[in-house]
Amino acid sequence: MKKSQIILIVVIAVAAGIILSTYMDTSTSVTFSEAFAHPGEEYKVSGTLDKSREVVYDPQVDASLCTFYVVDANGESQKVYYRNSADPKPMGLEQSESIDMHGKVVDGQFQASQVLMKCPSKYNENKHMMDETASNGSN
């Protein structure tokens, strides 16, 4: 093999490795207690929206801040501070089934830099079947 071919293969392999590591989420979720044990380190925390607590977004006070509570895998509810000037209150937050947040603990607060939500299916087959049965039974 020529030296130029070897260099080309190495460059392609390095580029492929960078692309794969960038686009594949290999991080595993941790709980809030693990994140709070290591302040300043970036973590992924997964959970569900604590619907017993209020989602606060007040553009008059701070147009880029939204706060809400998330219950993690251990059942711990924790306040999350999400600051994003482009999308301060994630659309569909209240309807989400689960939430993945990337962030870190700063000054005793979990500050999310990214919020990803799994939203409920628009077509729920069981509900559709129950609604159809109910409407057929009333005819």
Model-level pTM greater than 0.75? no
pLDDT(136) > 70:
no
> Is residue 110 in some structural domain?
yes
Distance CA 64, CA 100 (A): 19
> Is residue 90 in some structural domain?
yes
pLDDT number for residue 127: 45
pLDDT, tens only, 29-69: 899 999 999 999 999 999 999 999 999 999 999 999 999 99
Mean pLDDT of 84-103: 89
Write the CATH number for 55: 2.40.50.140
pLDDT number for residue 27: 64
Which domain range does residue 73 map to?
A: 27-121
Angle at 91 between CA 73 and CA 74, to 5 degrees: 5
Q: Count CB atoms within 10 A of the CB of residue 84.
A: 15
pLDDT number for residue 18: 72
| Higher-scoring residue by pLDDT: 76, 25 | 76
